[in-house]
């Protein structure tokens, strides 16, 4: 979890001196925090920037958030997700580390910090929701392509007897979006023409369909 608080240079010096924070410098690419194995603590970026990486069970790394001066992150509140999260320095960076007790003292002595944390967290959640919606809308084509690939692999055949409405229900979207995506996939040569058959979606080029999935997802 990460958010941002408005900390000036003088604020940081005061925090480091009076709140028992530990200041550590990191090199480019160095692991700053591995929440799965590190002790519970809170970090504030004092200099430079860090990147939050999410690593899927199959080892794929996706950058989820860049954090700069004044941003904070923690591993105090574990989340029940299968993906692993790692935070790395994006160039030289300095982090002020707080134990749970020292961070509690900080917020007790500076109530405005706590209010700002709550405010920034609400903004962060709002941005995440907006981005999720954008990705869902932008990547309907990729979602349709992936679902078709998975269904074909499960059935062991390239001809799928399914309507656009049924496919939309499986994906939790509307038929119009699926129909548009299927048309694009056919125009791209990944799916065969419909020939006026409503209940048949045929894969013409599996390799091209996989490339479309990968391109759309990585572009998001």
Other beta carbons within 10 Å of 98? 23
Mark whether 126 and 144 lie in a shared domain: no
CATH code assigned at 184: 1.10.10.10
- In this predicted structure, which of 97-101, 111-115, 141-145 has the lowest mean pLDDT? 111-115
Per the structure block, which two tokens stand in for 10?
A: 């003088």
- In this predicted structure, which of 2-11, 54-63, 92-101 has the lowest mean pLDDT? 2-11
Q: Give the alpha-carbon dihedral of 52, 146, 204, 202, to 10 degrees.
A: -170
Mark whether 6 and 88 lie in a shared domain: yes
Report the C-alpha gap between 56 and 37 in whole angstroms: 17
Report the C-alpha gap between 11 and 185 in whole angstroms: 55
Among 132, 151, 168, identify where a domain stops: 132
Closest by Cα among 99, 56, 91, 52 to 71 = 52
Sign of CA dihedral 94, 69, 8, 112: negative
Residues 190-204: tens digit of each pLDDT: 999 988 777 789 999
Among 108, 132, 156, identify where a domain stops: 132
Among 99, 132, 165, identify where a domain stops: 132
Residue 202 confidence (pLDDT): 92
Burial of 87 (0-12, 13-18, 19+ CB in 10 A): buried
Mark whether 66 and 115 lie in a shared domain: yes
Residue 10 confidence (pLDDT): 47
Give yes or no for residue 2 having a pLDDT over 50: no
Q: What percent helix, strand, coil does the chain show, rounded to 5?
A: 45, 25, 30
Residue 9 confidence (pLDDT): 45
Per the structure block, which two tokens stand in for 104?
A: 């509690």
Report, as an integer, the average pLDDT of 73-90. 76
Residue that has been written with the tokens 């970090």 in this structure: 43
Give yes or no for residue 179 having a pLDDT over 90: yes
Mark whether 73 and 105 lie in a shared domain: yes
Mark whether 14 and 123 lie in a shared domain: yes
Mark whether 35 and 110 lie in a shared domain: yes
CATH code assigned at 27: 2.60.120.10
Mark whether 189 and 92 lie in a shared domain: no
User: What global pTM score does this model have?
Assistant: 0.54
3-state secondary structure of 74: strand
Residue 84 confidence (pLDDT): 79
CA distances from 77 to 26, 33, 39, 128, 147 (A): 24, 14, 12, 18, 34
Overall domain count for the chain? 2
Mark whether 110 and 143 lie in a shared domain: no
The residue among 43 and 169 whose pLDDT is bigger is: 43
Report, as an integer, the average pLDDT of 51-70. 74
Domain, as residue range, for 64: 2-132
Helix (H) or strand (E) holding 159: strand 159-160
Mark whether 154 and 108 lie in a shared domain: no
């Amino acid at each position: 979890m990460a958010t941002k608080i408005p900390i000036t240079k003088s604020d940081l010096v005061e925090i480091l001196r009076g709140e028992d924070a530990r200041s550590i410098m990191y090199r480019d690419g160095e692991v700053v925090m591995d929440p799965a194995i590190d002790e519970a603590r809170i970090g504030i970026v004092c200099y430079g920037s860090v990147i939050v990486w999410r690593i899927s069970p199959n080892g794929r790394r996706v950058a989820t958030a860049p954090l700069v001066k004044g941003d904070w992150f923690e591993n105090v509140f574990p989340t029940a997700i299968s993906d692993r999260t790692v935070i790395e320095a994006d160039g030289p960076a300095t982090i002020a580390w707080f134990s749970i007790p020292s961070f509690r003292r900080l917020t007790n002595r500076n109530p405005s910090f706590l209010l700002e944390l709550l405010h920034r967290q609400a903004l962060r959640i709002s941005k995440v929701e907006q981005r999720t919606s954008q990705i869902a809308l932008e990547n309907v084509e990729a979602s349709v392509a992936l679902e078709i690939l998975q269904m074909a692999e499960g059935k062991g055949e390239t001809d799928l007897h399914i309507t656009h409405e049924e496919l939309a229900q499986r994906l939790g979207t509307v038929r119009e979006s699926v129909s548009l995506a299927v048309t694009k996939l056919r125009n791209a040569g990944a799916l065969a023409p419909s020939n006026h058959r409503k209940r048949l979606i045929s894969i013409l080029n599996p390799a091209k369909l996989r490339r479309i999935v990968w391109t759309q997802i990585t572009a998001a």
